[in-house]
Amino acid sequence: MKPRYLISMLLWTTAAVAAAPPSAPRPATTASSAARADTSYIDAHGTAHVTRVVPVPKTVSAEAQAMLAGRLSDASSNDSIAQQREATDAWQAGAAKVLLKRYPVTVTSTRIADVPVRVVTPPTMPESHRGYVLMNVHGGGFVVDSGSLTESIPLAHTLKVRVVSVLYPLSPEHPFPAALDAAVRVYATLLKTYRADHIVIYGSSAGAVLTGEIAVALKQRHLPQPAALGVFSGFGDFSRAGDSMALFGLNGLSGPLQPHRSGVPLIPEYVGKTDPRDPLLSPLFADLHGLPPTLFITSTRDLLLSGTTLLERAFRRDGVPTRLVVFEALPHTFWNNPNLPESREALATMATFFRTHLRLDRR
C-alpha cells in the first residue's frame, strides 16, 4: 500500500526539514529557493513542471534561509508504507544521535498497559522533579514514527523531567480509535503513579491531532485532565482540508502537488469507518470546555497552519486558556532540525509553557 496525499506531504516535509532528497535530472520545481528565471518544461511523459518563485525571506535566521533555499522535488513518492517506515526509522535514528550529543539523556524501551513506550530520562533530575512526567504522542502521519525520539530528547533534557513516548499502533493496520485507545490506557496507568496536574501531554503533527483527541476522550471518560497540553502543528477536523494545505501545495512548500478531493476524509487510512465529524476523532466538533491550558505552535509555511489555528480558536471559544505561537516562513515541524535558532526558540517556548503549568519553577 502506498501512502496517500496528506500522509505523503507530512512525511515529505518532516524529512525535508533535516535533509533534501537527491536532486532530479531536471531542475526541481519548488518555491523554496530564491527568485530565479523560468525553468518550466514538459517532460517526456507530458507532465508540465512549472517553476514557482517564492523567494527565501530575509526575516529568518541564516540557518533557516539556507534550509529554505534547498531545491526539493514536487514528485509524489512511490514508496510503500513499509519503505516509508524503514526510511523514517533510519532518519530518526540518525537525528537522535545528533540530539543526544547536544541533549544527553537515557532512552529505554518498555511497555505500559501493554503498549510499547520509550522512556527518556535526563542524566540529572532534581528529587522534586521525580513526581512529574511528560507524555509524548509522536508524529508521522499516523503511519510511521517520526518523533518518539526527536520530540522527547530535547524536552527531557531541558526540563529535567522524564518523558514517556507512546509507540501507539499505526494505520492502516490499526485505524481509529486504536492509537487513541492505546494512548489513553498509558495515561490512565501513569495516573496510578503521577498526579494528573503533574503530567503534560503533547505531540507534533499526527501526535498533535492525537493530543486533542486524548483530551476529549479523557473528558468523555471522566478521567482527570493533565496540567497542560502541547499541540504542535496539528488539526482537529478530518472532514475538511484547511486553506494552507492547498495554498502551500500550489506554491511548492508542502511536497507533492496533489489537491485534496472534496468529500474524502483526510488520512482515510487512519479514519477508517468512523464519521470524519465524530467529535472524538475531530475535536473541532467536540465540547472543549474544561480542557487544560494548551500551547499551539505552527509556522507560516506549515501545511497545517490552518488546522492549528482553527483548532486553537475552537479551544479558545470554549474557554480553554491558550497560547498560539506562529513562526515566520518555516515549514511543518521545523523544530525537528536542531541546527536552527528558531528550533531552539520553539524548544524554549515549549519548556517554559510546560514548566509554568507544572509549577516546576516553584519546586
248-301 confidence digits (pLDDT tens): 765 556 555 555 566 678 889 999 999 999 999 999 999 999 999 999 999 999
The neighbouring-strand residues paired with 42 are 48
pLDDT score recorded for residue 160: 98
* Burial environment of residue 38 by CB neighbours within 10 A (0 to 12, 13 to 18, 19 or more): exposed
Beta-strand ranges (E) seen in the chain are 41-42, 48-49, 106-112, 115-121, 133-137, 162-166, 199-204, 228-232, 294-301, 322-331
Q: Domain check: are 41 and 109 in the same one?
A: no
Q: Domain check: are 42 and 168 in the same one?
A: no
Q: How is the chain split among helix, strand and coil, in percent rounded to 5? A: 35, 15, 45
74 within some domain: no
Using the 3D structure, point to which of 41, 68, 95 is the last residue of a domain.
68
Q: Domain check: are 12 and 85 in the same one?
A: no
Which is it for strands 133-137 and 162-166: parallel, antiparallel or unpaired?
parallel
pLDDT score recorded for residue 243: 81
Q: Domain check: are 154 and 194 in the same one?
A: yes
pLDDT score recorded for residue 76: 66
Q: Domain check: are 34 and 103 in the same one?
A: no
76 within some domain: no
Q: Is the pTM of this model over 0.85?
A: yes
Instruction: Tell me the pLDDT tens digit for each residue of 139-177.
Output: 999 999 999 999 999 999 999 999 999 999 999 999 999
Which is it for strands 162-166 and 115-121: parallel, antiparallel or unpaired?
antiparallel
Return the axis-axis angle of helices 305-317 and 243-250, rounded to nearest 10°: 160
pLDDT score recorded for residue 31: 42
- The total number of structural domains in the chain stands at 2
Q: Domain check: are 279 and 340 in the same one?
A: yes
pLDDT score recorded for residue 14: 60
Structural domain boundaries, residue 244: 81-362
Radius of gyration (C-alpha) of the chain in whole angstroms: 20
pLDDT score recorded for residue 26: 36
CATH code of residue 105: 3.40.50.1820
Mapped onto helix, strand or coil, the DSSP state of residue 166 is strand
pLDDT score recorded for residue 295: 99
- Lookup: cell for 135: 507524555
The neighbouring-strand residues paired with 323 are 295
| Cα 297 to Cα 145, 150, 189, 202, distances in angstroms | 20, 16, 28, 11
31 within some domain: yes
Show Cβ contacts of residue 43 under 8 Å, excluding neighbours closer than 6 positions: 26, 49
Using the 3D structure, point to which of 16, 39, 68 is the last residue of a domain.
68
| Cα 49 to Cα 13, 57, 98, 256, 317, distances in angstroms | 20, 24, 36, 12, 43
Report the alpha-carbon distance of residue 234 to residue 252 in Å, rounded. Answer: 20
Q: Domain check: are 36 and 146 in the same one?
A: no
Q: Domain check: are 48 and 85 in the same one?
A: no
The tens-digit pLDDT sequence of the chain (363 residues) is 544 545 555 554 565 565 433 333 333 444 444 445 556 677 787 776 666 567 889 999 999 999 988 766 666 677 899 999 999 999 999 999 999 999 999 999 999 999 999 999 999 999 999 999 999 999 999 999 999 999 999 999 999 999 999 999 999 999 999 999 999 999 999 999 999 999 999 999 999 999 999 999 999 999 999 999 999 999 999 998 888 877 776 555 655 555 556 667 888 999 999 999 999 999 999 999 999 999 999 999 998 999 999 999 999 999 999 999 999 999 999 999 999 999 999 999 999 999 999 999 765
Q: Domain check: are 115 and 154 in the same one?
A: yes
Q: How far is CA 58 from the centre of its chain?
A: 26
183 within some domain: yes
154 within some domain: yes
Beta-strand ranges (E) seen in 97-245 are 106-112, 115-121, 133-137, 162-166, 199-204, 228-232
* Burial environment of residue 152 by CB neighbours within 10 A (0 to 12, 13 to 18, 19 or more): buried
pLDDT score recorded for residue 48: 63
Q: Domain check: are 62 and 189 in the same one?
A: no
Q: Domain check: are 57 and 150 in the same one?
A: no
Q: Domain check: are 111 and 199 in the same one?
A: yes
Report the alpha-carbon distance of residue 312 to residue 328 in Å, rounded. Answer: 18
**Cα distance between the two ends of the chain:** 50
pLDDT score recorded for residue 262: 63
Using the 3D structure, point to which of 68, 91, 121 is the last residue of a domain.
68
- Lookup: cell for 239: 472532514
